[in-house]
Amino acid sequence: MSLKKALLAATILAVPAAASAQPVTGLYIGLGAGANWVNNPSTFDLSGETLPGNFGLPPNVRVDNAGKANFKLGWTGAASIGWGFGNGFRVELEGNYRENEVDSIRGLGLAPIARTGGFQRTYGAMVNVFYDFDFANFGLGQSIFQPYIGVGAGYAWTDWKNLRGQSAVNGLILSADDDDGQFAYQAIAGVATPLTWLGVTGLTLTAEYRFFGTLQPELSASIRNPANNQLVSAGKLEADNYNHSVMLGLRYALFQPPPPPPPVVAPAPAAAPAPARTYLVFFDWDRADLTARAREIIGEAAQNARRVQSTRIEVAGHADRSGSPQYNQRLSQRRAEAVAAELVSRGISRNDIGITAFGESRPLVPTADGVREPQNRRVEIVLR
């Protein structure tokens, strides 16, 4: 194998082990920015009436109440602070901003409309609920990628800043410079990957799509005749505001514990095997799947069980105190069953294995409630 291929293989094998995605636990902050598309065309209705008199208009000129606007590609940004519950769910408070320049305006009896300009700006605050998918819960093992979905609701202001256009036929000028706040909502789909290889625990890169919309804002607008600066029509524009955003961001989970120490195996006695021998198999936080090192330890236990002709193998599962006692009891049971299944796959009869789950009741290292202690996340194998 060439040196280049060997380095590539080593990188592929090393990155997932060093940077597997985990559900967010505790306080976190996030920043994101990207491109924003307004759902074109954005329709609107002018909820006012044409004023009486022609104000010097050419004959047969009529002002309509319905129109459409198209906007150019713009940008968006968001900042958030949230809390992860460690089970995939998290809640956050978000502030956001979007800006798009007007591209064209149609309708209102002014077509064709030239000399258009102005911006649509949307900004507001949202409360979002997310769920992070953990591949390990679906039997797929750990991954450096973690997809997530979310929904949000809140309040946002739509600001038409100096929106304008002039009819190329009759010269009438449309202008709108107003803002209005309405209920806002959004749907989010994204994927996250940890950046622990940068040496910062809790730092994650995110990429996501967002659909963002509001109820129709009502924005003041007017149509004037430039020949005599007379007001022809005025009222409220009831406009659509639907947005599609693609964003890249960074999420940082604060106060994360340092990586757990490597698993510790009880030293084997130098003399002949004693009637009882203990092996310790350690697990990642909130995990019941076996690491490569754990499988090696279980393999050693199975081999020695046959060599010393043990008549009974006791498998006891344990958990640390970072979750509820009920959850930790179930977690320790799953860990013990995973070790027993691996022993069976290595030739040990299931009838020779006894399984016990102690939850958080028998810590190897005593801790306060809620503390993550790597050495308490274990399964003990005892050969009798």
Between 236 and 46, the more confident residue is: 236
CA angle 262, 265, 271 (to 5 degrees): 150
> In this structure, how many other beta carbons lie within 10 angstroms of the beta carbon of residue 319?
31
Structure tokens at 290: 């076996």
What is the band of 6 on the pLDDT scale with cuts at 50, 70, 90?
A: very low
Between 133 and 107, the more confident residue is: 133
Amino acid letter, residue 261: P
> In this structure, how many other beta carbons lie within 10 angstroms of the beta carbon of residue 5?
9
Per-residue model confidence (pLDDT) at position 147: 94
Per-residue model confidence (pLDDT) at position 229: 80
Average pLDDT over residues 45-60: 45
What is the band of 120 on the pLDDT scale with cuts at 50, 70, 90?
A: very high
CA atoms 77, 82, 86, 88: torsion sign: negative
Amino acid letter, residue 135: F
Average pLDDT over residues 44-68: 51
Structural domains in the chain, sorted by start: 21-253 (2.40.160.20), 277-383 (3.30.1330.60)
Per-residue model confidence (pLDDT) at position 60: 43
Tell me whether strands 313-317 and 353-357 are parallel, antiparallel or unpaired.
parallel
The long-range contacts involving 300-307, CB below 8 angstroms and separated by at least 24 positions, are 301/343, 301/381, 301/383, 302/343, 302/346, 302/347, 302/348, 303/346, 304/273, 304/277, 304/383, 305/343, 305/348, 305/383, 306/347, 307/273
pLDDT at 13 over 90: no
Q: Which of 15-24, 183-192, 227-236, 298-307 has the lowest mean pLDDT?
A: 15-24
Instruction: Encode pLDDT of 234-278 as tens digits.
Output: 888 888 899 999 999 999 999 876 655 666 666 665 555 454 478
Q: What percentage of the chain carries pLDDT values higher than 90?
A: 36
Contact status, residue 286 vs residue 323, Cβ threshold 8 Å = yes
Give the global pTM.
0.61
Average pLDDT over residues 350-359: 88
Residues 6+ apart with CB under 8 A from 370: 321, 322
Count of H-run helices and E-run strands, the chain: 3, 16
Amino acid letter, residue 195: L
ω before 258 within 30° of 0 (cis)?
Answer: no
SS3 readout for 324-373: CHHHHHHHHHHHHHHHHHHHHHCCCCHHHEEEEECCCCCCCCCCCCCCCC
Structure tokens at 245: 């955003």
Amino acid letter, residue 69: A
Spatial separation of the C-alpha atoms in residues 76 and 95, rounded to whole Å: 11
pLDDT at 139 over 70: no
Spatial separation of the C-alpha atoms in residues 300 and 339, rounded to whole Å: 12
Tell me whether strands 66-71 and 242-253 are parallel, antiparallel or unpaired.
unpaired
Per-residue model confidence (pLDDT) at position 350: 85
80: left (phi over 0), alpha (psi -120 to 50) or beta: beta
Spatial separation of the C-alpha atoms in residues 273 and 266, rounded to whole Å: 13
Spatial separation of the C-alpha atoms in residues 209 and 226, rounded to whole Å: 44
Average pLDDT over residues 77-81: 97
Spatial separation of the C-alpha atoms in residues 122 and 179, rounded to whole Å: 9
pLDDT at 151 over 90: yes
Structure tokens at 276: 């009882």
pLDDT at 57 over 80: no
Q: What percentage of the chain carries pLDDT values higher than 70?
A: 81
